[in-house]
Amino acid sequence: MGELVQLASFGLTEGEVLSALGRVKVRDVDYADLYFESCVSESVSMEETLVKRATKSVSQGVGVRATAGEKTGFAYSDELTKKDLELAADTARYIANSPSGAQALPAPVRQRPTRDLYPVERVQVEVATADRVALLNAIDAEARRYDPRIKNVMASFNTEYKVVVVATSDGTLIGDVQPLSRLQVTCIAEEKGQRQSGSFGGGGRVGFEFYHEGDRHLRFAREAAREAILNLSAVDAPAGVMPVVLGGGWPGILLHEAIGHGLEADFNRKKTSAFSTLLGKRVASDVCTIVDDGTLPGRRGSLNMDDEGTPTSRTTLIENGILRGYITDKLNARLMGIPVTGNGRRESYQSVVLPRMTNTFMLAGTSDPDEIIRSVDRGLYAVSFGGGQVDITNGKFVFSASEAYLIEGGKVTRPVKGATLIGSGPEILTKVSMVGHDLKLDEGIGTCGKDGQSVPVGVGLPTIRIDEITVGGTQR
Amino acid sequence: MNQQLQQRDGYSQLALDLLAKAKRSGATEADIIIAEGETFSVQVRLGAVDRLTKAREKHLGLRVFVGKRSASTSTSDFSPDSLNALVAETCTLAKAVVEDPVSGLPEADQMAGERPDLDLYDPTRLNTEQQIDLAKRVEAAAMSTDERVTNSEGGDFDSSSGRVVLGNSHGFLGEYQSSSFSMSASPVATDPETGAMQRDSWYDVQRKFSKLNSPEAVGLEAARRTVRKLGARKVATQRVPVVFDADIAGSLMGNLCGAVSGYSLYKGASFLAGQLDKSLAPDYVTVYDDGRIVGGLGSRPFDGEGLPTRKTTVVERGVLKSYLLDTYSGRKLGMASTGNASRSVGENPSAGPTNFYLAPGSKTAQEIIKTVKQGLYVTDLIGFGINMVTGDYSRGASGFWIEGGELAYPVEEITIAGNLKDMFAGIEMVGSDLVFRGRIASPTVKIAEMMVAGS
């Protein structure tokens, strides 16, 4: 893949970048960085058996940032001339007390990330539109073949090819190429005037061939169709507190909402997180160990380096039930005096860096998944979810099931309609009494929102039993 | 001023040039949207500047039709080489997708003729110090009123302005400028006995700086909303009347908006498919979408396809009277566009609201709460537990328990569930307190009964 610091593709020389960086890093500025990004996104979508929409978007720009104490000055520009860089630099350094006086910075060491978690060539991502169209057509046929009650199939395939270069005042000049793609299928089923929907999807930092491996695209189509058909016979969900068994994989969204956000360093530095006084304390039962790991090859939430040029890592958040650590970016790590974990992420050059999750999951336990279900007399078995949300400060979180079943007498019985589950982050994991040996990561569809910024993330979970959580159905 | 005028002519000319180029590259029809803007945002925390962001940006979106095939592209790179390549690529992309019989621009004779000045732009520019001062004042007001407010997620003041140029191959060329000013405070309160924390926020947003509430009023309201949550507890699972605070009732109008969007309807993905002219709610429920409210946050002189905006009665005295449509979704449903094409640069148009609201009734929020013997007053909702295909609704909630017509104590960690069809049919009262703080608004709403799940 050669040299990753592709400054030339931004029409800039190392000298110009260094000069701009020196202009931002005035005396009272603790840290400054420039983030250059060029991104090409393409999308095709299908409905009513027609692939009738195709879009392509090109964006390029630079974000310039200075931090001084707790203050951040930030400016961005979609023009990359020397003049625009200087203007952005002057804006960013406004927060420092010393208004001017460019500093000469040591020559940075040109680096490339020490590993390549997504060795994908550009041609594997930006495949011909005809190939994308064929992929979606095959999905439509497969979903309709699954069951004649499938009345509409909506599918979309999105790719992104992002080239970034980060220049920092602590002497780093590093680049990365970040491919990303996602295939999403939604089916509408209809029977006797009643309609239901089902969705499935996946992807990652992978090439186009990923979707054909083992006919993955057709499996996505069947899964979406299956969920839609299943929901046609779903009964109303129960309401109230009960035991809930979560299936493996995507239900790991529980961890993302219940504890992940609460362990992001910014909220804890500001002491506005329900977890900010709980480091070293028990926040989960001893069968729970939870990590955030940005180093898994090809995963949607993985990165060779974060958006401050720090290599991503595996951070233990909870170890046998004890809260061990926060996920950090440079600013919060410095202010809190804790290690940088490589979780400084941003949606694009237009957004500031925040501590964000990568792939967050619970390690496998020892229980047999069937035994976990058998242990419940009356409860819910939830295997697929829509989105979730959390109030960081009081710790209350929700996540909404899209495929769930009643457990009656230790057996999975009828499918129930979607329902929201609500709990309290610092408490819910203390109620996890069994953890399966079947850890599964999700298929690669997650997008996390914070402060209006969206970034791709992953989650994972073995089958677990939660002794009690409030289920927001409509039936007593 | 001269420079600004010159640039204005520049973008209009650029649009015309690119439309001509698209035609020469094989497009039978095309439209182009150019958006440019500048934003300045200040966040302070505990009295000191926390973050300061300043930027200018521009973006151009091109949609071409080659017969009945179409594609859309966008770029932030306006260099001639890049734009020439974009035109060629868009035409190539269009040729790669299938024919769609109803695709195409609106009919030429439907394009917006008169373009009213809706007073969407305020030339006021605040300097950095003024904006920092306003952000500090809104946070200080939130921090100073009650000693239980112990911390802060910050006070914000944002200003932005921008311009949209839209042109198409029918010869339509329009543009408008708009601005917005907003502030918010997000205080954190601590329960002196248990140490438990609560956070809430309050905000105001206006197109004119002079119309903004005072930072002191916004900060005080943020503190009031935060402190009143202290001591919140769960309640038992039960079926009760639910009153939605005006701010949160807006989310019900947002749900309605999604369900009457032409795109969900023709895909069969809305619980309101086939419900036109049928009763949706009691006769005191009337809902409008009005794109021409002077100074409105959702107002614009023409929509994302250049069609005139207008006032549409969506629900008239309880009966569903109109969907929100753009040209494409209208054609799919055999109807005319309602002037609701919403367009973000680079995307195909979709059908969305302008200023969408439930017409106010006559009762105050307090009078409505008085009618509830035992029930829930919702001030906050979290999560995404809504199935738009079936209308099934289940969301996390917090607010207050109502006993004997009075707010008795704060509640949290509960859900409310039902079906949106039943919820709209079950609207028992509509408040008088309609205030726009965005494009979608509602007064206080009382729903006869929902399932509350708690302990």
The minimal CB distance from A52 to the residues B49, B98, B268 is found for B98
Is the same domain home to B52 and B137? yes
Q: Of B204, B224, B244, which closes a domain?
A: B224
Q: What is the mean pLDDT of chain A?
A: 94
Smallest Cβ–Cβ distance between A396 and the set B188, B395, B412 belongs to B412
Taking the Cβ of residue A415 and every Cβ of chain B, the question of whether any pair is shorter than 8 Å is answered with no
- Over the stretch B14-32, which tens digit does the pLDDT of each residue have? 999 999 999 999 999 999 9
B174 close to B8: Cβ distance less than 8 angstroms: no
Average pLDDT over residues B269-274: 95
Look at residue A6 in the predicted model and tell me its pLDDT.
82
Q: Tens digits of per-residue pLDDT, A6-23? A: 888 888 888 889 889 988
Domain extent at residue B135: 2-224
How remote is the C-alpha of A126 from its chain's centroid?
Answer: 22
Query: Band of the pLDDT at A418, cuts 50, 70, 90?
Result: confident
Q: Which of A60, A239, A274 sits opposite B237 (nearest CB)?
A: A239
Cα–Cα distance between A61 and A391 in angstroms, integer? Answer: 33
A237 touches chain B (CB under 8 A): yes
Is residue B262 very low, low, confident or very high in pLDDT (cuts 50, 70, 90)? Answer: very high
Domain A7-232 has CATH 3.90.226.10: no
Same domain, B178 and B249: no
Q: How does residue A202 score in pLDDT terms, banded at 50, 70 and 90?
A: very high
Which residue shows structure tokens 């204005």? B8
* A vs B: CB pairs below 8 A: 253
Q: Which of A44, A74, A151 sits opposite B51 (nearest CB)?
A: A74
Q: Look up the ipTM and state it.
A: 0.92
Contact A188 B268 (CB under 8 A): yes
Nearest-neighbour CA in chain A from B243: distance (Å):
18
Percent of chain A with pLDDT over 70: 97
Same domain? For B207 and B306 the reply is no
pLDDT at position A28 is 86
Closest chain B C-alpha to A88 CA, distance in angstroms:
8
Q: Residue A24: pLDDT above 60?
A: yes
Q: Do B415 and A239 touch (CB under 8 A)?
A: yes
pLDDT digits 0-9 by tens, B86-111: 999 999 999 999 999 999 999 999 99
pLDDT at B4 over 70: no
Alpha carbon distances (Å) from B335 to A116, B115, B266, B310, B350? 53, 24, 11, 16, 15
Residue B6 has a CB neighbour count (10 Å cut-off) of 9
Q: Which residues contact A143 (CB under 8 A, 6 or more apart)?
A: A150, A153, A185, A187, A221, A222, A224, A225
Last residue of a domain, one of B224, B250, B268: B224
Is A52 an 8 Å CB contact of chain B?
yes
Residues B220 and B107 in one domain: yes
Q: What is the pLDDT of residues A277-317, one digit of tens each?
A: 999 999 999 999 999 999 999 999 999 999 999 999 999 99
> Is residue B310 domain-shared with residue B264, that is, in the same domain?
yes
Q: How confident is the model at residue A3 (pLDDT cuts 50, 70, 90)?
A: low
Q: Name the amino acid, one letter, at A125.
A: V
- Closest by CA position to A317, among listed A402, A260, A364: A260
pLDDT band for A95, please (50, 70, 90 cuts).
confident
Rounded to a whole number of angstroms, the distance from the CA of A140 to the nearest CA of chain B is 14
**Residue B91: which of B152, B22, B155 has the closest Cα?**
B22
Q: What is the mean pLDDT of residues A183-192?
A: 96
Residues B55, A474: C-beta atoms closer than 8 Å:
no
The predicted structure's pLDDT at residue B5: 41
- Of the candidates A252, A467, A464, A251, the one whose C-alpha atom is nearest the C-alpha of residue A371 is A464
Lowest pLDDT segment from A44-58, A346-360, A431-445:
A44-58
Residues 6+ apart with CB under 8 A from B192: B148
Per-residue pLDDT at A340 exceeds 70: yes
Give the per-residue pLDDT at A390. 94
B136 touching A, CB under 8 A? Answer: no
Residue A102: pLDDT above 70? no
- Closest of B413, B381, B82, B353 to residue B244, by C-alpha: B381
Report the CATH number at residue B88.
3.30.2290.10
Which residue carries 């070293």 as its tokens?
A280
Buried b (16+ CB within 10 A) or exposed e, B218-230: bbbbbbebbbbbb
CB–CB of A362/A435 below 8 Å? yes
Of B97, B151, B415, the CB nearest to A422: B415
Task: Using CA coordinates, name the residue in chain B closest to A277.
Answer: B195
Q: Average the pLDDT over B352-373 and give the result.
A: 97
Are B31 and B72 in contact by the 8 Å Cβ rule? The answer is no
Model confidence at A100: pLDDT above 90: no
Residue range B404-422: mean pLDDT, rounded:
97
Contacts of A197 in chain B (CB under 8 A): 269, 387, 389
- Tell me the percentage of chain B whose pLDDT exceeds 90: 95
Tens digits of residue pLDDT in A114-137: 899 999 999 999 999 999 999 999
Query: Cα–Cα distance between B116 and B168 in angstroms, integer?
Result: 20
Rounded to an integer, the average pLDDT of A237-264 is 96
Residues B278, B384 share a domain: yes
Residue A2 has pLDDT above 50, yes or no: no
Could you tell me the two tokens for B23?
Answer: 């035609």
B230 has a pLDDT exceeding 60: yes
Select from A51, A72, A77 the Cβ nearest to the Cβ of B55: A77
Look at residue A82 in the predicted model and tell me its pLDDT: 87
- β-pairing, B311-316 with B173-190? unpaired
CB contact under 8 A, B382 and A240: no
Whether residue B366 sits in one domain with residue B247: yes
Residue with tokens 């895909």: B267
Answer yes or no: do B267 and B207 share one domain.
Answer: no
Looking at the predicted structure, is the pLDDT value of residue A225 above 50? Answer: yes
Measured in whole angstroms, the distance separating CA B125 from the mean position of its chain's CA atoms is: 24
Residue A48 pLDDT greater than 80, yes or no: yes
Axis crossing angle, helix A129-146 with helix B80-96, rounded to the nearest 10:
40
Q: Is A188 on the interface with B (CB under 8 A)?
A: yes
CA separation for the pair A154, A89 (Å, rounded): 45
Dig out the tokens for B82 from the structure.
């890049």
Per-residue pLDDT band for B2 (boundaries 50, 70, 90) equals: very low
Same domain, B53 and B146: yes
Structural domains of chain B, count: 2
Residue after which a domain boundary falls, among B189, B224, B259: B224
Mark yes or no for CB contact A419/B58 under 8 Å. no
Mean pLDDT over the full length of chain B: 95
Does B282 share its domain with B168? no
Instruction: Tell whether B72 and B212 lie within a shared domain.
Output: yes
Separation between Cα atoms, residue B308 and residue B56, nearest integer Å: 29
pLDDT greater at residue A134 or residue A110: A134
Contacts of B100 in chain A (CB under 8 A): 50, 52
Per-residue pLDDT of B29-49, as tens digits, reads 999 999 999 999 999 999 999
Domain spans of chain A? 7-232, 239-472
Give, in order, the Cα–Cα distances in Å from B225 to each of B22, B202, B248, B327, B365. Answer: 54, 8, 13, 43, 15
Least Cα separation, residue B162 to chain A (angstroms): 15
pLDDT at residue number B3 = 41
Q: How many CB atoms neighbour CB A240 within 10 A?
A: 20
**Confidence band of B7 (pLDDT split at 50, 70, 90):** low
Mean pLDDT of A58-65: 94
Q: Are residues B251 and B130 in the same domain?
A: no
Tell me how far CA of residue B223 lies from CA of A273, B220, B324, in angstroms: 18, 5, 38
Instruction: Note the pLDDT of residue A365.
Output: 97
